[in-house]
Structure 1
Amino acid sequence: MEKLYEVFPCSETQKVLLATYTLKDEARRDQKVSEFQELKQGRMSVAEYEAKFTELARFAPHIVDTDYKKARKFEGGLDLEVFDRVGVQKLPTYVEVLDRSLMAEATLAAMKQGKAPATTTTEWRGKRSGFGFKKGRSFVSKKQNTRTSNSSSQSSGSIPVCSDCGKRHRGVCYRVSGACFRCGQPGHVVKDCPP
């Protein structure tokens, strides 16, 4: 501070004002770093948590100076139900953790409303061969499976229309994020998707 005063001559009043401003700014920055270190999703949605996370991360770049550290920090603050679905995957990048968190939140919301989550790959393969796998039952006959698929097609009207691309889907819009439509990973498109 003294060196500043030597380079930029100023009155005693100006020195006091500058010192006060500098100290307040440092205290504010320290407060934001602490707030970031203790940030948890709590009652926020994943999108709200992500916005707060991004805002506070500016004050503590040393905590999230690599994509891996950023992913782990974000993951660590997630709501327990969302974390249980995302944390086990050990996703390496922040974008993947965010994407899967949004999907997990949508799935949990659908389950709480009593709606069945989207058909899994195992169920789809089972439907092609005439049998579907369901929890609590080993097999469902083709006739029973038809009723299930009819009811799920009726509930497709409850899938929200994306404000970005105009299509019906849940979670992050792959068209906007630039992710592959097949696997959901960024950095390539369907035609280049590794098997």
Structure 2
Amino acid sequence: MERAVTSFLQALQTNINNGMPEWREELVIIKQFQDLKPTTFIGSPDPMVADAWVKDMEKIFHALPCTEREKVTFATFTFKDNAQEWWLLTLEKEEIVTWAKFLEIFYAKYFPDLLWEQKASKFIHLKQETMTVTEYESKFTQFAQFATYVIPTKARKVRKFEAGLDAEIKDSLEILKLPTYTEVVDRAYITEKEIKASRSLEPSQKKRFWKRDNRRSSVAPPKRVNTSTTSSGNPGSTNPRDGTIPTCPTCGRTHWG
């Protein structure tokens, strides 16, 4: 790729030196494209690698204004090995001058319809199950692009995400009726943490309650204080038969007899 870019830059510089200033702007743009360090594509058999490369190119094109032809030219500069050979053979058959047309033939080569349908099926049946919310959300985002017809509106996207969540998390979120995808994802993170925290505290709480109950059962009950009165009305006077020293009605002291 570097040799191809160098040759292209040299050709541009020659045109500028020969009095063709219209090339000057394109030379600046190609240098800016290089500075953004685009991903090299060698023709991976993994369709997700091909799709990731396309996303990287489109990210650069958002930051660097390009014409349709420049998008194709700059993107194919990153091709090496099998991808470069495929592109040269393609150019012999037809001239590709728009990004939309390029994507059509690129995906036909590196992301055929059968694989696309498989990814769409995975999205349709996607459930959180043993995954964390983070892992589930990552898969949801990854496969959603292959089945956009399933989530034609933002509201449908929110409900689809909720439907695949763990039952305990889903029940908590459905009550809230959150309107946006971001709010639902954030709340799912929080709910997951709360559930994990409550589960981790249960054993310690049981142990703490067990110790507290044991301490209570080991403490002897307090002795009862007899506050009954005698028939004479003097407080503290009791029947001698119960073993309590009575209060003398004459001197006011407690003694027998």
TM-score per shorter chain, which class?
Answer: 0.3 to 0.5
Greater percentage in helix: 2
Larger Rg computed on CA atoms? 2
Q: What TM-score results when the alignment is normalised by the length of structure 1? A: 0.47
